[in-house]
Structure 1
Amino acid sequence: MSSSPSRTSLLLQTLRSGRELSVRDELELVIRLAVPAALAQVSYILMQYIDASMVGHLGAADSAAVGLVSTTLWLFYGIGGASIMGFSVQTAHRIGAEDFDAARSIVRQAFTTVMTFSAVLAAAGFLISSHLPVWLGGDPSIAGNASDYFLMMALFLPATFFGWLAGALLRATGDMKTPSYLGILMCILNCFFNFFLIFPTTTYTLFGLSLTVPGADLGIIGAAVGTGIAETIVGAIVLWMLVVRSPFLSLVGRSGSFIPQAAVLRRAFSIASPVAAERILMCGAQILSTAIVAPLGIVAIAAHTLGITAESLCYMPGYGIGDAASTLVGQSVGAKRLDLAKRIAYKCVGAGMVVMTVMGVVLYFAAPLLMGIMTDVPEVIELGTKVLRIEAWAEPMFAAAIVSYSAFIGTGDTLIPAVMYLSSMWVVRLTLAWFLAPVYGLVGVWSAMCAELIVRGGIFLMRLKSGIWLQKLTKKT
């Protein structure tokens, strides 16, 4: 006997069928999808915290080696994530239209395209790995380790992207729990593998008892391998859940072509290319921002780097709510319910602003504690606390930008939002930081960041309210 559908499934079925949803139903749907997605985002950040802490215990040189190539890795991840988005949005539209055969066809084409693309990126990573630390101006003493770390992470890109693809496709169906819970599992596995691969065999004494724990003593290479193995294991499980267990996208017992179709590829490219360009230019903006901070001294650099890590705990719930917005808006568009898409977008943005306002208050008062967890240098803690408290004021509008952007993506509207995002970053933040840094130091840089996030949130709210992002769809319907 099959189990009865969950409350979330019933609400999504109501959305797709064209039946009316009450205001309470819409809010419940947002909460049911947003909570697990937000938990997944927070678990991912915790994994980064733990990784940074483990590598940090190896010494400054190893931390510097990882930091040297991290921006390039983010670039690779950003491009790969954009390519996945091009297929997940189309899948959400087909699911919303209850055209499940077409949705499965898009899934097959996504497998072929992402497999090919990830292999190309992995090959590119292999080819540039030995040269990258030199190109980035890294010290010769860390170049070897940086090169090996980057190479190992690049070789795991196909496994990483397949896990991301399967998770994105499941979220497109409205299943937020499966990829979210498996994301938490990956965090646990990553810690487990890293512990045994990074450090040497060590004997610990507790209450007079000695325990010898084996270790591979691979250093930062162990960190890369541990993360890669964890992502591969969890990615395989997510893929199995998609291909075998998903009631909407299961491919078992269903034949179909894996050869990409021109129309699907064109649509994927039109969605993904603005996002990919935005992420490429964002990496450039991050590099320029680092160049602005670098002359301010070691204390400022440390406070800036650790402050960014500390702040990430505040905005990750916003990205989780954004995932929910993208799925719900996408399915509403597929069901040709544009009024519902707009109402859902408003509710998601409102929820994001409320949650991140609370997180901003927490950030303001907990700033000294957060900085103290990551460093014991009083000057860094003091300066980091000061800039985090500046940034806390921007969290509500940062949420508005994050969730609005995700709602626009749910319709396939990515070009203009990407231009807005980049214009705000390059014109407002970097220009202000350039002028304020020599006078006010790191406080000036973070004041520029705060001002830019408020401006960005404002222009995204204006676009959301205008309804321009739905106009093309209105003409089509």
Structure 2
Amino acid sequence: MADISLIRSGAPLDFRQQLKLTVQLSWPAMMAQLSSIMMQYIDAAMVGRLGADDSAAVGLVSTSLWLFWGICSAVTVGFSVQVAHRIGASDHDGARRVLRQSIVACLLFSLAVVIVGAAIAWPLPHWLGGTDVVCPKASLYFLVFVLALPLLTMNYLGGAMLRCVGNMKVPGGLNVMMCVLDIIFNFFLIFPSREVDFMGHAIHIPGAGLGVLGAALGTVSAEIVTAGLMMWYLCSREKSICLVGHPGSFRPTRQVLARALKVSAPMTLEHAVICGAQIAVTVIVAPLGVMAIAANAFAVTAESICYMPGYGIGDAATTLVGQSYGAKRLDVARRFGYITVGLGMVTMTLMGVVMYVCAPWVMELMTPVGEIQSLGVEALRIEAFAEPMFAAAIVSYGVMIGVGDTIIPASMNFGSIWLVRLPIAALLAPAMGLAGVWLAMCVELCFRGAIFLWRLISGAWLKKGLKPA
């Protein structure tokens, strides 16, 4: 079986060994991503049982939450890429220095984001076009997640660091555990106390009856427990980078911050602009009514099961390409790029076929409202055709992050969504309704995949990476 240490040792790697490494790292990463998506399915399905207004409250602010989550996640990448390069160069002490500094820097950054998020929590749903019935619940849901951002950021950081040293199993296992905890917490927090008949016996099930607030508290609680375990394992058990027994300063240095800023700043700006565009899509959908808002939110959640395997493979690509680049093996890095992108396109094509066939069942799982189901199925079946090219964009981006090339790929991402998706969506929505919005998304994702494939094949990304520390 191929071993990731072969990259650092300089040993020759043929195509078969590289493919084995890609599959070995991609599988647990995909499982981690899928478990994260299952949490969204669970929340959507449980809240969906409460009615269209509660579903709309969650859907109204979901893209705004992605903006805040994504910004904090992007900041961690600037440090994890540096760790991957140092591990590739067998500089374990240097990797530990980056880890110590990243903990302080990411906590401080996330606290600043909390202040901004808390300040806009109450007016935000009104800005997005929500009704007086929906807005109070949406604000409370948003605020709970925002206040938990520092701990959620530690979850992102711990997972990213473990993946970049080649440990995909621990983040994957902990994310599966988080999914189970989410079910348990939501079960007791969302619904009120009730009697359940089991084999002729009435069983009393306690419940807090918090509804939308319970969904937020349940998910946040599960993520906080996972973050604690993730950071404990990283700092005390992961031999290649653990901090226990290796004392050092946690004070951020100019060199590490500057290198992190070079990687993270374009990604943070790109994510902010892309999420801004997704929020704009929410504004386009809002006039279509509560049913369309809820259907759009459910369809976005449902479709994520197709593309999250791509993000898992993208995580593996970042690790493999990052360590190859750190070891100065550019030919190996290029081949890993091609292999991971090809695997991602095959995987997401299959997932797109499954989603097209299973769309009615998936929407029935999420909501009992027939009109919402119908709108969601139509949207999902349109989007299924974009999955192969969406995979090309996702995994190619992971490849380019691996070498620290983020400025041009970030520009490609937000340029595509703002210049292609939004104008087409605004044009088609009045005539085609929600289907027009999703057709615009399908066209844009195919375009984005094409330009990322062009950049990957050109090899320009290998020339734009971070210079050795």
Would you call these one fold, judging by a TM-score over 0.5? Answer: yes
Q: Contact between 1:193 and 1:227, CA under 8 Å: does it hold in 2?
A: yes
- Provide the residue aligned with 2:101 in structure 1: 109
| Distance in structure 1 (CA, Å) of the matches to 2:290 and 2:211 | 25
SS at match of 1:252: coil
Deviation at 1:296, TM superposition (A): 4.1
Question: Does 2:58 align with 1:66?
Answer: yes
Which residue identity lines up with residue 345 of structure 1 in the other structure? G
- Aligned partners of 2:37, 2:300: CA distance in 1, in Å? 12
Change (3 A) 1:367 1:70: closer
* Alpha-carbon distance in 2 for matches of 1:196, 1:380: 26
Check 1:156–1:305 CA distance in 2 against 1; reply closer, same or farther (3 A cut). closer
What's the counterpart of residue 307 of structure 1? Answer: 299
Deviation at 1:127, TM superposition (A): 3.4
Equivalent position to 1:147, from 139, 145, 165: 139
Match of residue 38, structure 1, among 21, 30, 36? 30
Partner of residue 406, structure 1: 398
- Paired residue for 1:225? 217
Deviations 1:302-334 (A, max 9, x none): 443332222111111111100000111111111
Per-residue deviation, 1:424:
1.2
Q: Which residue of 1 aligns with 2:6?
A: 14
Rounded to whole Å, the distance in 1 between the matches of 2:184 and 2:109 is 30
Q: 1:129 to 1:387 in 2, by over 3 A?
A: closer
Name the counterpart of 2:421: 429
Contact 2:326 2:468 in 1 (8 A): no
Kindly tell me: are residues 44 and 440 of structure 1, through their superposed partners in 2, closer, same or farther at Cα, counting changes over 3 Å?
A: same
Q: Within 5 Å, which residues of 2 pair with 1:71-220?
A: 71-220=63-212
Identity of aligned residues (%): 54
Contact 2:345 2:391 in 1 (8 A): yes
- Aligned mates of 2:67, 2:180 — CA distance in 1: 25
Paired residue for 2:244, among 234, 237, 252? Answer: 252
2 CA distance for matches of 1:315 and 1:13? 29
* CA 1:367–1:226: 2 relative to 1, 3 Å: closer
Paired amino acid for 1:75 = L
SS class of match (1:225): helix
User: Aligned pair in 2 of structure 1 residues 136, 307: CA closer, same or farther (>3 Å)?
Assistant: closer
Structure 1 position 38, deviation (Å):
0.5
Supply the distance in 1 between the matched residues of 2:380 and 2:53 (Cα, whole angstroms).
27
Q: 3-state SS of the aligned residue for 1:61?
A: helix
Amino acid at match of 2:152: T
Residues 34, 309 of structure 2: 8 Å contact kept: yes
**Cα–Cα, structure 1 residues 48 and 475, in superposed 2: closer, same or farther, change >3 Å?**
closer
Q: Counterparts of 2:45 and 2:311 in 1: how far apart (Å)?
A: 24
Q: Does 1:290 align with 2:282?
A: yes
| Larger CA deviation: 430-439 vs 409-418 | 430-439
Residues 398/16 of structure 1: CA separation in 2 closer, same or farther (3 Å cut): same
Give the 3-state SS of the residue equivalent to 2:223 in structure 1.
helix
Residue identity matched to 2:422: L
The match for 1:342 among 334, 338, 353 is 334
Q: Deviations over 1:357-390 (max 9, x none)?
A: 1112112222222233233444544443333222
User: What residue is the counterpart of 1:458 in the other structure?
Assistant: 450
In the alignment, structure 2 segments of 5+ residues that lack a partner are none
Give the Cα separation in 2 of the matches to 1:444 and 1:137.
19
Aligned pair partner of 2:363 in 371, 376, 379? 371
SS at match of 2:247: coil
Aligned length: 469
SS at match of 1:201: strand
Please provide the CA RMSD for this pair: 2.1
Letter of the 2:299 counterpart:
G
- CA deviation after TM superposition for structure 1 residue 425, in Å: 1.0
Tell me by how many angstroms 1:29 deviates: 0.2
Opposite residue 75 of structure 2, the aligned amino acid is: S
